[in-house]
Structure 1
Amino acid sequence: MAARMLGRMHPNLYALGAIAMWASLATLGVSLTHVPPFLLTGIALIIGSVPAWPFVLRDPRQWRIPLRTLALGVYGLFAYHFLLFIALRHAPAVEANLVNYLWPLFIVVLAPVVLPGVRLRWAHIAAALLGFAGAALAITSGRGLSGTLAWGYLPALGAAFIWATYSLGTKRVAAFPTTAIGLFGLVSGLLSLLCHVLLEPAATLQGRDWLLLALLGLGPLGAAFFLWDKALKLGDARQIGILSYATPLASTALLVLTSGRPFSLSIVMATLLIMAAAVLGMRAR
């Protein structure tokens, strides 16, 4: 019954489910700032792959995918996080995050390049730009940017490009079961742990850390990827890209709620811009 209900869900609902989980990433990350980032990502990605294991044990063919498909998955999950962490270490965090959130715009404008039979209309472009304006307002909270030039912006731009092309690329490779996302996460998690051993100091984790890592892995670095894959397989990549601008807005709003701070005018304005982008994008045919 549950499987049939999921099968009838609109593709955009899968995307919104992933976005809702990614909204908790910053809040959970704030509680785990003492954990080295590659260690955090490695453990969380491996935990995120666990829900796929029972399906693979029942039918090992679920993970028998072409090497090209596995390479695409590792490119998306591992290379994206690798470049993002490099960017956050070598550029101001707010500005680097803003550059990173060019990925929804890249999904929209690259869709006709990567996917056959897909064309852009003016409404898609206008919606993507409106969404980016809303995301920028949410991320910066209405403050001015530092204007500092840093080479770390390049890996942030690379991370945005990688996530967009990975997302679109899943529609170009041979069809694969969504459970294969678990294999992407497992391999990417092991590579992240290798980066931790080579690049980061050793760290000791407490019981609370493991609980938060489990939440991180089962949510934004686990189930969210499965939902995202389902959305892209069934939906319109242009519309999904526009909807994705809700991620930084929801993330900022959740941080405001958990910190007890009042909502600012910039959050309200960002909400209106992203809602307008979503409506415009949905109406584009």
Structure 2
Amino acid sequence: MATALGFSAILMWSLLALLTARSGAVPPLQLNAMCFGLGTLVGLAALKLRGVPLSVFRQPPAVWALGVIGLFGYHALYFAALRSAPAAEASLIAYLWPLLIVLGSAMLPGEKLRWFHLVGALLGLSGAGLIIAGKGDGLSFEGGHGVGYALAGLCALTWSSYSLLSRRFRNVPSDVVTGFCAATALLSLPAHWMFETTVWPADGGQWLAVVLLGLLPVGAAFYVWDYGVKRGDIQLLGAASYAAPLLSTLVLILFGEAQATWALALAACLITLGAVLAALPMFSRLRDGRLTNSA
């Protein structure tokens, strides 16, 4: 059950690029505040239904710092990237985070950086480079969408760092994610007032996109993912996360936000194959575990 909930987070995250693109011209920090406000309501409703006391939020400062920086930083960068570059290209670069997690995990104590980690990294970087070159401007970041691509790269680095450092707090209950969402929404508001001009969704379709963002990929997904990786099969969930770039791009194409070009398809395949190759130890451990259980 826990693993299945974790899988549902991956499916919800595949909608993030589409819903962001459909949310209109709402500035990134304002969108952050709106979506995480809704995400907080999701968590508070779950706490109320399950009778969890508010004392669950009494956690060490390091837990709060990691959660708030991870959620606030990642989504502020993500929304800004999709406002500054085409949705398909920006989302694919942002989805380099599974590859970065694998590379970072390989350098933890007791692990080694092997050839398949390096080859996987090169494939992922090649895919990101192909996305940029596919516009016909080569790999130059002068003007155009260079800022958006750079923001997407920082986005991937932020989420991978957050995920790796979260391993230190495996015993922290998933209910604390509610507090992370609330803090992120509150931080986004003054930042929005300082740096942006308020722009509300222009029609019902854009409002629906914002609500769905807050309820699903920027809401429920964080809770079920946290629960899944702590109580389910984390190896399966880690490997499955590498499907996110392809799922996200497929959704964008199906809804007319991106064109099904050969360059885009090849880039998606390179990033996904690179991440899977870098994750070979996960698949080996999973296979060995199954063989042991069957014996």
| TM-score (structure 2 length as normaliser) | 0.75
Structure 1 position 199 matched with structure 2 position 195: yes
Superposition pairs for residues 133-282 of structure 1, below 5 Å? 133-134=126-127, 137=130, 139=131, 142-144=134-136, 145=138, 147-149=140-142, 152=147, 156-173=152-169, 175-205=171-201, 207-233=204-230, 240=238, 243-259=240-256, 263-270=260-267, 272-273=269-270, 276-277=273-274, 280=277, 281-282=279-280
Structure 1 position 31 matched with structure 2 position 22: yes
Aligned to 1:73: 67
Which residues of structure 2 form unaligned runs of 5+?
286-295
Aligned to 2:13: 22
In the alignment, is the contact (CA less than 8 A) between 1:103 and 1:164 conserved in 2? yes
Aligned to 1:126: 119
Which residues of structure 1 form unaligned runs of 5+?
1-5
Task: Report Cα offsets for 1:48-75 as digits up to 9, x if no partner.
Answer: 1222213434222332222210110001
Task: Report Cα offsets for 1:124-171 as digits up to 9, x if no partner.
Answer: 44344434545665x559444451247946655443322111111111
Supply the distance in 2 between the matched residues of 1:278 and 1:262 (Cα, whole angstroms): 24
Supply the distance in 2 between the matched residues of 1:18 and 1:93 (Cα, whole angstroms): 20
Task: Report Cα offsets for 1:11-52 as digits up to 9, x if no partner.
Answer: xx72x4323212212211222132122111111112112222
User: Are the structure 2 counterparts of residues 66 and 128 from structure 1 closer, same or farther at C-alpha, using a change threshold of 3 Å?
Assistant: same
User: Are the structure 2 counterparts of residues 25 and 94 from structure 1 closer, same or farther at C-alpha, using a change threshold of 3 Å?
Assistant: closer
Aligned to 1:111: 105
Q: CA RMSD in A?
A: 3.6
Which of the numbers 41, 47, 52 marks the counterpart of 1:50? 41
- 1:86 CA drift (Å): 5.6
Question: Which secondary structure does the structure 1 equivalent of 2:250 belong to?
Answer: helix
Aligned to 1:40: 31
Q: Count residues in correspondence.
A: 273
Question: Which secondary structure does the structure 2 equivalent of 1:172 belong to?
Answer: helix
Supply the distance in 1 between the matched residues of 2:86 and 2:206 (Cα, whole angstroms): 26
User: Are the structure 2 counterparts of residues 88 and 25 from structure 1 closer, same or farther at C-alpha, using a change threshold of 3 Å?
Assistant: closer
User: Are the structure 2 counterparts of residues 256 and 70 from structure 1 closer, same or farther at C-alpha, using a change threshold of 3 Å?
Assistant: same
In the alignment, is the contact (CA less than 8 A) between 1:246 and 1:274 conserved in 2? no
Task: Name which of structure 1's ranges 269-278 and 180-189 shifts more when overlaid on structure 2.
Answer: 269-278
In the alignment, is the contact (CA less than 8 A) between 1:87 and 1:96 conserved in 2? yes
Supply the distance in 2 between the matched residues of 1:248 and 1:160 (Cα, whole angstroms): 12
In the alignment, is the contact (CA less than 8 A) between 2:17 and 2:87 conserved in 1? no
Supply the distance in 2 between the matched residues of 1:103 and 1:84 (Cα, whole angstroms): 12
